[in-house]
């Protein structure tokens, strides 16, 4: 099958104008044929009418050409502005790599290397905290604790509902500053269970109780947060909290054993 030939807007307009001129000429010829040659008065009126028809069509075509040129100029301008915008974004991204995000990554890598660990990237889709815990559980393969994101969210919400007094003091309405009502707390738990609502320290505290495992959250510029220290057991869940990971901001990653650079190159 041959590729379909796509006409440019200029070609389409020229084609339209040729048809309109051809239609006009046919109309003019029809007008001439309808008036006897010896009827000078009507033929004079006809001549004036023909001149007006021709002038109107010519003016119409000139206006359409101007509009097309104006549209093309606008589109060219938009394309140029978009290209400049993309260039600025790329430049800002390069600067950002040399800025806070890059510095955060270096500090975290240094902290993790002291424990023979490195970052394991987790997708930033709103489920990152749960996905990071899912990955940690899978790495350690503790029987009965290989849970997916959906189950982790469900158990988190269930635990928070059953222990509302432990969580309500930390939840306030951003508009009034008042502690959450029962309905607001239920919506918070429902969002945690059924949506991609971002998880934080409250959800982590709930999960330590659900899993009965201690957790450590490593940060670049703050001491490691330890949760569930009453559970003196292995494995310990280790997460990395990144404040400047992506354009969206805060993010959780998992960790894995530090790879030997020599072996990594061979693999």
20-45 pLDDT per residue, tens? 999 999 999 998 898 888 888 888 89
Exactly one of 127, 135, 189, 251 is catalytic; name it.
251
Global model pTM greater than 0.85: no
- Angle at the Cα of 63 from the Cα atoms of 57 and 64, rounded to 5 degrees: 90
Active site residue 128: yes
Give the H or E element holding residue 18: helix 9-34
**Cα–Cα distance measured from residue 241 to residue 238, given in angstroms and rounded to the nearest whole number:** 10
Of 125, 163, 221, 260, the active-site residue reads 125
How confident is the model over 188-216, as pLDDT tens digits?
Answer: 999 999 999 999 999 999 999 999 999 99
Residue 125 a catalytic site member: yes
- Catalytic member of 127, 128, 135, 189: 128
Q: What is the pLDDT of residues 74-126, one digit of tens each?
A: 888 888 888 887 887 777 766 666 577 788 889 999 999 999 999 999 988 88
Q: Does 251 participate in catalysis according to the annotation?
A: yes
Task: State the distance between the two ends of the chain, measured CA to CA, in whole angstroms.
Answer: 45
Nearest to 134 by CA among 118, 149, 154: 149
pLDDT band at residue 265 under the 50/70/90 scheme: very low
């Amino acid at each position: 099958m041959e590729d379909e030939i796509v006409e440019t807007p200029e070609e389409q307009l020229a084609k339209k104008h040729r048809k309109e001129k051809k239609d006009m000429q046919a109309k003019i010829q029809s007008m001439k044929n309808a008036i006897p040659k010896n009827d000078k008065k009507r033929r004079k009126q006809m001549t004036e009418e023909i001149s007006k028809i021709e002038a109107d069509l010519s003016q119409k075509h000139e206006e359409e050409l101007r509009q097309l040129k104006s549209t093309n100029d606008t589109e060219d301008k938009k394309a140029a502005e978009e290209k400049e915008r993309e260039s600025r974004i790329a430049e800002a991204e390069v600067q950002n790599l040399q800025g806070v995000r890059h510095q955060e990554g270096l500090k975290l890598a240094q902290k993790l290397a002291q424990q023979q660990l490195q970052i394991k990237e987790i997708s930033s889709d709103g489920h990152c905290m749960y996905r990071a815990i899912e990955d940690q559980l899978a790495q350690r393969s503790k029987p009965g604790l290989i849970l997916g994101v959906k189950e982790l969210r469900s158990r988190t919400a269930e635990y928070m509902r059953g222990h509302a007094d432990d969580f309500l003091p930390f939840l306030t309405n951003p508009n009034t500053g008042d502690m959450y009502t029962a309905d607001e707390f239920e919506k918070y738990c429902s969002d945690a269970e059924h949506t991609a609502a971002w998880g934080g320290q409250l959800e982590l505290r709930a999960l330590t109780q659900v899993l009965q495992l201690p957790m450590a959250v490593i940060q670049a510029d703050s001491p490691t947060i330890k949760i569930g220290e009453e559970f003196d057991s292995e494995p310990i869940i280790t997460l990395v909290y990144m404040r400047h990971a992506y354009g969206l901001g805060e993010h959780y990653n998992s960790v894995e054993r530090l790879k030997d650079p020599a072996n990594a190159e061979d693999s």
